Every structure is written in C-alpha cells, then in structure tokens.
Amino acid sequence: MTEILYCQSPALFLLAVVLLICFLLRRQAHRVRAALDLILCILLLIGGVVLYYLGIYGDCFTIHDFWQIRTSGWVGLGVVAAGSVWHLCKVCKRGVERRRTERAARQTEEAHRQALESARREAYEAGKADAAKERQPSPSTPETSALPLTPADAVSPERAAAPAADAPQSPAGGTGQAL
C-alpha cells in the first residue's frame, strides 16, 4: 500500500504543473483563486519530493531507478490527466455558454436599439406630416393668392411707409388709431 502512495509523485508533479498553468492564466482576473492555485502548486511539489524521498527511504525504489514510473504511478498520472481534461472541458463549456449569453444580450440590445430608432423615425415622419398639414390652408378659408390683384390694390412703398398721412385726424390730434 505504501508503495502505491510513494509512486504517486509523478501525478503530484503533473498536478502541480497544471495548477501552475492555472495560476498563470488566472493571475490578472481572479487574484485570490490564482494565489490559491500557486499555494497548492507549491504544496504538491513539496509533497512529490517528500514521496520520492520516502519511497527511496522505504526501499520501494532506488536512486538509480526512481525515474521509472511504475504501474501505480501511471494510474495516478491517468487520474490527474483525466481530471485535468474534465476540468478543461468544463471551463470551455462555461466560456461557450458565457459567449452565447453575451451574444444573445447584444442581439437583444441591438433589436431594442433598432426598435427605438424606427420609433423615432416614425415619430419624426409623423411630425413632419402634421407640420405639413398645418401649413396647408384649409378648404373653408379662401386663399388670398387666388384673388387677382389690380394696380389700385397694390400699395406703393411711399404709402406703406407713411400710413398716418391718409388716416383721419381726431379732434384731440393724432391719427385716430387706438394704441
């Protein structure tokens, strides 16, 4: 049983490498998790070295063949590799889901923005149409431009400048126009 434990050093080293990679990837975004990854990486490295020395001390392997990975070591490596692949798949799946929800949110926001823009455009066109209707004369009032002007109706610039000269005078003086 102890030989199986002592042979898990390569698995601990592989797990330490995986955690070091996680630390390097997370150190900017998730500082606390990155620090925990680094601490665990250091502890796993220390544990791997301790297991190697205990394996040598317990005569499970010698200094000349300690680099050879035994069957139980391969099992440990397989477990770590499978766990790492599973974790990587889980992280990738979360990333895909996050991008999918962000894309859906962007599409919803874009549709909302387009709906607002079309509503603004329709309101602007309706306002222009209402303003154009208000500028057009109503059919009940006669148009003054339709009446023919005679030379007698025309006002000369001199008469327009001095209208008070032709106005009747009141007994108190003045033009007789109310102010």
pLDDT level of residue 47 (50, 70, 90 thresholds)? confident
Query: Which residue carries 């394996």 as its tokens?
Result: 55
The pLDDT, as a whole number, for residue 109 is 95
Residue 156 phi/psi, 5-degree rounding, is: -80, 155
pLDDT of 121 higher than 60: yes
Decide if 61 contacts 76 (C-beta within 8 A): no
CB atoms within 10 A of CB 16: 21
- pLDDT mean over 116-128: 91
Instruction: Specify the pTM.
Output: 0.51
pLDDT level of residue 158 (50, 70, 90 thresholds)? low
Decide if 48 contacts 13 (C-beta within 8 A): yes
Give residues with Cβ within 8 angstroms of 25, minimum separation 6. none
Output DSSP code: residue 150.
-
**Tens-place pLDDT, residues 52-102:** 888 878 777 766 766 677 777 788 888 888 888 998 888 889 889 999 999
The pLDDT, as a whole number, for residue 156 is 57
Q: To 5 degrees, how large is the angle CA 9–CA 15–CA 19?
A: 145
Which range (45-59, 96-110, 136-150, 157-171) has the least confidence? 157-171
Query: Which residue carries 């049983």 as its tokens?
Result: 1
- pLDDT mean over 122-146: 75
pLDDT level of residue 108 (50, 70, 90 thresholds)? very high
DSSP reduced 3-state for 86: helix
More confident call, 5 vs 94: 94
* Average pLDDT score, the chain: 78
138: region left, alpha or beta (phi > 0 left; psi from -120 to 50 alpha): beta
The pLDDT, as a whole number, for residue 11 is 84
Give residues with Cβ within 8 angstroms of 167, minimum separation 6. 175, 176, 177
The pLDDT, as a whole number, for residue 143 is 54
Tokens of 147: 């009446």
